[in-house]
Chain A
């Protein structure tokens, strides 16, 4: 449609010249951001896409589905209108992201062929003229193209159609050439003969780490995130990403971190080149070691933290810090394991149970109203007689958080059953006013 035609259809239309160069630059910037925050192997897929290899990095984000959700929400938060999909191969992911319904964009491993079979032929990354010609011949979906013999199709449309079809099904490899940050600090090793043994790879990692540390030292930097790319002879790359909690410039620790995950590298027919890149760096000034004779140096556990965080994901390694709130569920928050000591503590005068049930479990009780502890209670089908009790400890709802908590009240009791087990139970409500809660009883925690 010509611009003048569009202007007659829509009054006050804002026109802007297309700027492919700026679009491309923006795409590269986005790809670099994704490489820093999500996965080592990222490439721009012009004109409007970015392709990302999730293997080797998804465990740091809690799995592929969680990684996709995080990626989408962060892009949406930055103002981008984004469609994303995960599949076994580039071709399938490309097709799903652009043509599948939003619910069908997560393809389980090994199911890419079935998932793309119902998509239109235009999803195959082929020229529009070819798409139209195929429509004339009666082909509408990708699944239709897998049944007829390949030779007549190739004769009529050239080899491109067959290649794209094979790429979408993962029958031929389609390597992703990862984008390189402009000012990266990296060390590279190329081998005359491809290597495959784990011991050899470990030795090469140690050499790369030593070289990388030399270049880092020259710039006064420490690495916060390291990417190891192994280029295989079949031109596919295997990536390994490790992060550190503090800037790191110690070749021995770097080697240890990388070698801990060495079993995730699949060497295939052999690795012909390895690159170790410091994707994220921070200033690391030389620090004076403890020189005081009296004071014993506190043991440094940051290397252990790094090792464990790369195994279970940084989100699963944490310290808990107090939050000034009387509501038990809100009394703790997670902080990074190496955060400076808070020095804060929970109040000691109110006993708290060692195990907290989330959510609190409803119990059947016999109790005098308004402020007596239960005499009997039944939890998980077992009836227990209360031997002695302490309470109530009244906890008021936090009206500044939610309007519904304006009048809410919980009365907590510490009770001991005949067998000596201690429970933390509460009544939702003050025992008189229906507005303060449902007056039902719940078991919230277990002391012993």
Chain B
């Protein structure tokens, strides 16, 4: 076992190589200790690119991205290629209509170029790019643009053609990208209610890749109207879990 000082020195060296020691790493915590513990510096890094994809349909991934953007504060630039986004749902995830500026680019290239501009500007809280393909070069450009400011970049990977929601794409099918974290969001059946009806939606949130961190899988309840996720309370099992106990996290 190495002494911690050597480890710290190594980390400082890596930070220097990455060129990120100029400013203190600012993060946006999820407020769920189990989830934040898996991320470097205890939260989603600002000034970085994060990649979100849906398993099956991408509506859950959209709301996950909207929740992050809602908590990031400031104005949000949302770049679309297809106008099928329904704004009231974003508003219900905490992203009010006055904060979002939509940009309809005709193709992925325009969307990527406009996102890069938005990330570089620095006055926005978050920039969301809905794109089909995110290659290494494109994601590297976005990451570098985000590093220059404190804006969170979210690449929302969409799939056209494979419209069927049951086709699950394997985690390693996506090409590698320079995103700092990579998420996959899948819908899970909600906890049954004692009365007829539909409970709060539940997602399987997979952290597939995280720079300087480990991957993990969580079962979480979907964004509330302020964009916060929540650990499901399980009164049925009565195991007396403390909120944020690591036993829910497997991965």
Contact segment of A143-151, A347-355, A429-437: A347-355
Instruction: State whether the Cβ of A73 lies closer than 8 Å to any Cβ in chain B.
Output: no
Determine whether the beta carbon of A355 is less than 8 Å from that of B101.
no
| In the complex, residue of chain B having the shortest beta-carbon distance to the beta carbon of A300 | B123
Instruction: State whether the Cβ of B139 lies closer than 8 Å to any Cβ in chain A.
Output: no
| In the complex, residue of chain B having the shortest beta-carbon distance to the beta carbon of A339 | B98
Instruction: State whether the Cβ of A358 lies closer than 8 Å to any Cβ in chain B.
Output: yes
CA distance A300 to B189 in the complex (A): 43
Which of A311, A352, A419 is B86 in contact with, Cβ under 8 Å? A352
Contact segment of B18-26, B30-38, B113-121: B113-121
With a cutoff of 8 Å between Cβ atoms, the chain B residues found around residue A307 in the complex are 117
Which of A328, A356, A381, A418 is B84 in contact with, Cβ under 8 Å? A356
Size band of the B side of the interface?
A: 35 or more
Residues B83-127 near A (CB distance < 8 A):
84-92, 96-98, 100-106, 110, 113-114, 117-118, 121-124
Determine whether the beta carbon of A346 is less than 8 Å from that of B92.
yes
CA distance A418 to B164 in the complex (A): 15
Distance of A422 from chain B, by nearest CB (Å): 6
With a cutoff of 8 Å between Cβ atoms, the chain B residues found around residue A332 in the complex are 86-88
Which of B75, B117, B164 is A308 in contact with, Cβ under 8 Å? B117
Contact segment of A4-12, A111-119, A317-325, A399-407: A317-325
CA distance A299 to B101 in the complex (A): 14
Instruction: State whether the Cβ of B202 lies closer than 8 Å to any Cβ in chain A.
Output: yes
Instruction: State whether the Cβ of A390 lies closer than 8 Å to any Cβ in chain B.
Output: yes
With a cutoff of 8 Å between Cβ atoms, the chain A residues found around residue B101 in the complex are 301, 305, 317-319, 337
Determine whether the beta carbon of A319 is less than 8 Å from that of B100.
yes
Determine whether the beta carbon of A354 is less than 8 Å from that of B62.
yes
With a cutoff of 8 Å between Cβ atoms, the chain A residues found around residue B122 in the complex are 299
Known A299-B74, A308-B118, A388-B190; judge A354-B124 contact (CB<8 A): no
Distance of B144 from chain A, by nearest CB (Å): 18
Residues A251-266 near B (CB distance < 8 A):
none
With a cutoff of 8 Å between Cβ atoms, the chain A residues found around residue B29 in the complex are none
Determine whether the beta carbon of A354 is less than 8 Å from that of B90.
yes
With a cutoff of 8 Å between Cβ atoms, the chain B residues found around residue A355 in the complex are 57-59, 62, 84-86
With a cutoff of 8 Å between Cβ atoms, the chain B residues found around residue A418 in the complex are 189
By DSSP majority rule, is chain A's interface helix, strand, loop, or mixed? Answer: mixed
CA distance A448 to B221 in the complex (A): 12
CA distance A343 to B90 in the complex (A): 15
With a cutoff of 8 Å between Cβ atoms, the chain B residues found around residue A448 in the complex are 57, 59-60, 63, 187, 201, 203, 222
Instruction: State whether the Cβ of A304 lies closer than 8 Å to any Cβ in chain B.
Output: yes
Instruction: State whether the Cβ of A99 lies closer than 8 Å to any Cβ in chain B.
Output: no
Which of B60, B121, B164 is A304 in contact with, Cβ under 8 Å? B121
Instruction: State whether the Cβ of A290 lies closer than 8 Å to any Cβ in chain B.
Output: no
| In the complex, residue of chain A having the shortest beta-carbon distance to the beta carbon of B60 | A448
Known A421-B187, A448-B187; judge A304-B124 contact (CB<8 A): yes
Determine whether the beta carbon of B57 is less than 8 Å from that of A344.
no
Known A317-B102, A416-B189; judge A342-B88 contact (CB<8 A): no
CA distance A448 to B92 in the complex (A): 14
CA distance A390 to B97 in the complex (A): 26
Which of A317, A343, A346, A421 is B98 in contact with, Cβ under 8 Å? A343
CA distance A211 to B59 in the complex (A): 51
Instruction: State whether the Cβ of B163 lies closer than 8 Å to any Cβ in chain A.
Output: yes
Q: Mark A322-337, 1 if CB is under 8 A from B, else 0.
A: 1000001001100001
| In the complex, residue of chain B having the shortest beta-carbon distance to the beta carbon of A373 | B196
Q: Mark A352-370, 1 if CB is under 8 A from B, else 0.
A: 1111111000000000000
In the complex, the number of residue pairs spanning A and B with C-beta atoms less than 8 Å apart equals 168
CA distance A303 to B113 in the complex (A): 16
Distance of A305 from chain B, by nearest CB (Å): 7
CA distance A353 to B91 in the complex (A): 11
Determine whether the beta carbon of A388 is less than 8 Å from that of B198.
yes
Which of A301, A311, A319 is B124 in contact with, Cβ under 8 Å? A301
Which of B88, B193, B222 is A352 in contact with, Cβ under 8 Å? B88
Determine whether the beta carbon of B56 is less than 8 Å from that of A419.
yes
Instruction: State whether the Cβ of A68 lies closer than 8 Å to any Cβ in chain B.
Output: no
| In the complex, residue of chain A having the shortest beta-carbon distance to the beta carbon of B98 | A341
With a cutoff of 8 Å between Cβ atoms, the chain A residues found around residue B110 in the complex are 311-312
Instruction: State whether the Cβ of A50 lies closer than 8 Å to any Cβ in chain B.
Output: no
Determine whether the beta carbon of A352 is less than 8 Å from that of B92.
yes
Instruction: State whether the Cβ of A75 lies closer than 8 Å to any Cβ in chain B.
Output: no
Determine whether the beta carbon of B105 is less than 8 Å from that of A420.
no
Distance of A435 from chain B, by nearest CB (Å): 29
Determine whether the beta carbon of A421 is less than 8 Å from that of B88.
no
Determine whether the beta carbon of A317 is less than 8 Å from that of B103.
yes
Known A354-B85, A388-B198, A390-B197; judge A446-B59 contact (CB<8 A): yes
Known A355-B59, A420-B188, A448-B187; judge A319-B86 contact (CB<8 A): no
Instruction: State whether the Cβ of B166 lies closer than 8 Å to any Cβ in chain A.
Output: yes
Instruction: State whether the Cβ of A396 lies closer than 8 Å to any Cβ in chain B.
Output: no
CA distance A328 to B84 in the complex (A): 12
With a cutoff of 8 Å between Cβ atoms, the chain B residues found around residue A317 in the complex are 101-104
Q: Tell which of A331, A354, A388, A446 has the most Cβ of chain B within 10 Å.
A: A354
> What are 17 pairs between A and B in contact, CB < 8 Å?
A299-B74, A299-B75, A301-B75, A304-B118, A308-B103, A312-B106, A317-B103, A317-B104, A318-B101, A342-B98, A353-B59, A354-B63, A356-B84, A389-B197, A416-B189, A421-B187, A447-B201
Given contacts A308-B117, A355-B84, 19 further A-B contacts (CB under 8 A): A301-B121, A312-B103, A316-B105, A317-B103, A337-B101, A345-B91, A354-B59, A354-B63, A354-B85, A355-B62, A380-B163, A382-B164, A388-B198, A416-B189, A419-B56, A420-B187, A422-B59, A422-B201, A447-B201
